[in-house]
Chain A
Amino acid sequence: MMEPEVMIGIEAHVQLNTKSKMFCSDMSEPGDAEPNSNTCPICLGFPGSKPKVNAKAVEHGAMIGLALNSRINEKMFFSRKAYFYPDLSKNYQITQYEIPLASGGFMQLGETKIRIRRVHIEEDPAKLVHDSGEITSANKVLIDYNRAGVPLAEIVTEPDFKNPRQVRQFMEHLSSVLEYLGVYDPKREMSLRVDANISINGGERVEIKNITGFENVEKALSYEVVRQSGITRMGAKVERETRHFNAEVKTTSALRKKEYEEDYGYIFDPDLPMITLTRKFVDSLKANMPELPEQRAARLVKDYKISDYYANVIIYTGKPMADFYEACLKLENKPEPIASWLVNYLLKSLNWRSERIEDSKVKPETFVELIRMIEKGEVTERYAKELMKQYVDTGTSPKKLAAKEKFALSESDMLKIVREIISKNGKAVSEFKSGKGEALQFLIGLVLKETKKQADPKTIKGIIEKEIR
């Protein structure tokens, strides 16, 4: 059976982490505030209220446009997208239609170039809570406008994706870029949502709305490929519709079909001014752009000579991890071991605790302590791994932990043991002196036994050799 030809385009919505909302001065991040406590007449659409544009949101939007290689339009306007829905306080959304903030960009995903049609800014609708939990069986909705009016950037791609996996990769990369730009907080729930349009073999487009989570995006689209292929194989036609992804059962289902075609009747919003994005403004933004993930990864490789692999893991775990790494390097200039232990062991421990570096008790000062101990041979690699776990759990200084648990052998302890072994094994020593390599191994083995395998063989070797000479 032939693989279906898949075409996918997406619209990603990002909640921008400005301090205030898009058109009013309520908090942009209401968190768990009591419902409707983070509101004002403007975001609640009270008669007579008027919006006013948040300058920071414009800046953030422009930065996203620049990071996606787009052209920033010189003049931009806001439009009213009119449709009725209980989550829209004015029954129109203030967005950008004709003339958005940025257009004509792209993101390179390996070999594939994903073209970005436009980037624009708009306001988020309110949150609907269905009184029986599920959208399809509720009697009423409960509406919380705390989120209404939060600034959103919408990133629209051309239908350049050829499979669901690419979409996931795009979203992961996009999320990193947004994080490094400082316009988005990945920890904030629901702050990055995707609407995806998918068609197979040139058939009708199906839209899946409001997917959160990169895994879910891939799953939803994979399900659609299977579903749509199934339909066409039966000889039927795929219908153009809007569907919703159910994360629990991992399927998409059709939202109620509208009997009419929505026509948003766009007009320019006459309460808002034209915004000019001057050359000067754009140039100054460009000059002050934060380092993008690819740029930072390249810099790590170039400046610190670590592998691409390590650099990518550090960068794409998240900006706090990259900051952590470089903070460690300031205290102890050992890029390779720090990277190695970070990637191979620290991350494991954090993941095991489902913890992010910025929320954990791990700090650069104490982490480099551990690295130093390892480098000096004060702990064996095996015990270092144990120590790492405890350190991540407690945040206690590794030195203290080691002393408590007797993980570490001090230099003088080691020397004592080596000298003892040497004095008790004169035959092996003279054999070593006359060139017999196995004798050294024998001595190392004895020291290891004595230290109950706590010491590092390489270190032992070094000390023995020194003592004998």
Chain B
Amino acid sequence: MEHICMLAKLNLTEQEKESYARELSDVLEAFKVLDSIDAKDEPAFHPIEIKDRLREDEVRRTKWNPLGNAKSVDKKYFTGPKIV
């Protein structure tokens, strides 16, 4: 659970960790029903087969304000939290 929280970037209280862990294991138990089916079919990534949707290599500029929804900007940069 600790590890999953780290990967998912969520802080949980000890209480929450316990209750989510319980719920998670219930749900995972329920998923076990899939063990009883033997599926050798090709995985269906989409309900309908979708292939070869490609875009021509052309430049098209977007006229917009990318910083419009940001609360923290520095000149024309977005600011973010440090790395280390």
Instruction: Classify A-B as touching or not with yes or no (CB < 8 A).
Output: yes
Interface residue ranges, A against B (CB under 8 Å): 18-20, 25-27, 34-37, 39-41, 44, 52-58, 77, 84, 86, 128-131, 135-136, 138-145, 255-256, 259-260, 262-263, 265, 268, 270, 272-276
CB-CB under 8 A for A39 and B66, given A129-B77, A142-B74: yes
CB-CB under 8 A for A275 and B84, given A57-B57, A145-B66: no
Taken together as a complex, chains A and B put the C-alpha atoms of A28 and B59 apart, in Å, by 8
Taking a contact as CB atoms under 8 Å apart, the answer to whether A259 and B6 are in contact is yes
Name the one of A35, A37, A41, A53 contacting B55, with C-beta atoms under 8 angstroms. Answer: A53
Task: Provide the residues of chain A in CB contact with B61, threshold 8 Å.
Answer: 25-27
* Interface status of B40 (Cβ within 8 A of chain A): no
Taking a contact as CB atoms under 8 Å apart, the answer to whether A143 and B58 are in contact is no
CB-CB under 8 A for A25 and B55, given A39-B62, A259-B6, A274-B45: yes
**Proximity string of chain B (13-43) to chain A, C-beta cutoff 8 Å, 1 when within and 0 when not:** 0000000000000000000000000000000
Taken together as a complex, chains A and B put the C-alpha atoms of A58 and B67 apart, in Å, by 31
Taken together as a complex, chains A and B put the C-alpha atoms of A36 and B81 apart, in Å, by 18
Taking a contact as CB atoms under 8 Å apart, the answer to whether B76 and A34 are in contact is yes
Taking a contact as CB atoms under 8 Å apart, the answer to whether A268 and B45 are in contact is yes
Taking a contact as CB atoms under 8 Å apart, the answer to whether A143 and B67 are in contact is no
In the complex, the number of residue pairs spanning A and B with C-beta atoms less than 8 Å apart equals 122
Please give the distance in Å from A140's CB to the nearest CB on chain B: 5
Residue of A nearest to B2 (CB): A260
Taking a contact as CB atoms under 8 Å apart, the answer to whether A136 and B45 are in contact is no
Taking a contact as CB atoms under 8 Å apart, the answer to whether A19 and B79 are in contact is no
A and B contact pairs by CB, cutoff 8 A, 9 listed? A20-B55, A25-B58, A25-B60, A39-B66, A52-B55, A129-B77, A141-B82, A143-B80, A274-B50
Taken together as a complex, chains A and B put the C-alpha atoms of A68 and B81 apart, in Å, by 40
**B-side interface size class:** 20 to 34
CB-CB under 8 A for A36 and B78, given A260-B7, A270-B45: yes
Name the one of B45, B56, B64, B79 contacting A40, with C-beta atoms under 8 angstroms. Answer: B64
Please give the distance in Å from A62's CB to the nearest CB on chain B: 13
Taking a contact as CB atoms under 8 Å apart, the answer to whether B81 and A18 are in contact is no
Residue of A nearest to B53 (CB): A273
Taken together as a complex, chains A and B put the C-alpha atoms of A77 and B53 apart, in Å, by 12
Taking a contact as CB atoms under 8 Å apart, the answer to whether B55 and A55 are in contact is yes
Task: Provide the residues of chain A in CB contact with B78, threshold 8 Å.
Answer: 36, 142-145
Taken together as a complex, chains A and B put the C-alpha atoms of A37 and B82 apart, in Å, by 23
* Interface status of B46 (Cβ within 8 A of chain A): yes
Task: Provide the residues of chain B in CB contact with A270, threshold 8 Å.
Answer: 45-46
* Interface status of B71 (Cβ within 8 A of chain A): no
Please give the distance in Å from B50's CB to the nearest CB on chain A: 4
Taking a contact as CB atoms under 8 Å apart, the answer to whether B50 and A273 are in contact is yes
Taking a contact as CB atoms under 8 Å apart, the answer to whether B57 and A20 are in contact is yes
CB-CB under 8 A for A141 and B79, given A260-B3, A263-B7: yes
Task: Provide the residues of chain A in CB contact with B3, threshold 8 Å.
Answer: 260
Task: Provide the residues of chain B in CB contact with A128, threshold 8 Å.
Answer: 80, 83
Please give the distance in Å from B13's CB to the nearest CB on chain A: 19
Task: Provide the residues of chain A in CB contact with B7, threshold 8 Å.
Answer: 260, 262-263, 265
Task: Provide the residues of chain A in CB contact with B58, threshold 8 Å.
Answer: 19-20, 25
CB-CB under 8 A for A139 and B82, given A25-B58, A39-B66, A260-B6: yes
Taken together as a complex, chains A and B put the C-alpha atoms of A144 and B56 apart, in Å, by 25
Taking a contact as CB atoms under 8 Å apart, the answer to whether B84 and A135 are in contact is yes
By Cβ-Cβ distance, the 4 closest A-B pairs, closest first, are: A56-B57, A142-B77, A40-B62, A25-B60
Residue of A nearest to B69 (CB): A46
Task: Provide the residues of chain B in CB contact with A139, threshold 8 Å.
Answer: 82
Name the one of B45, B53, B55, B79 contacting A142, with C-beta atoms under 8 angstroms. Answer: B79
CB-CB under 8 A for A135 and B50, given A36-B77, A40-B64, A274-B45: no
Taken together as a complex, chains A and B put the C-alpha atoms of A461 and B77 apart, in Å, by 72
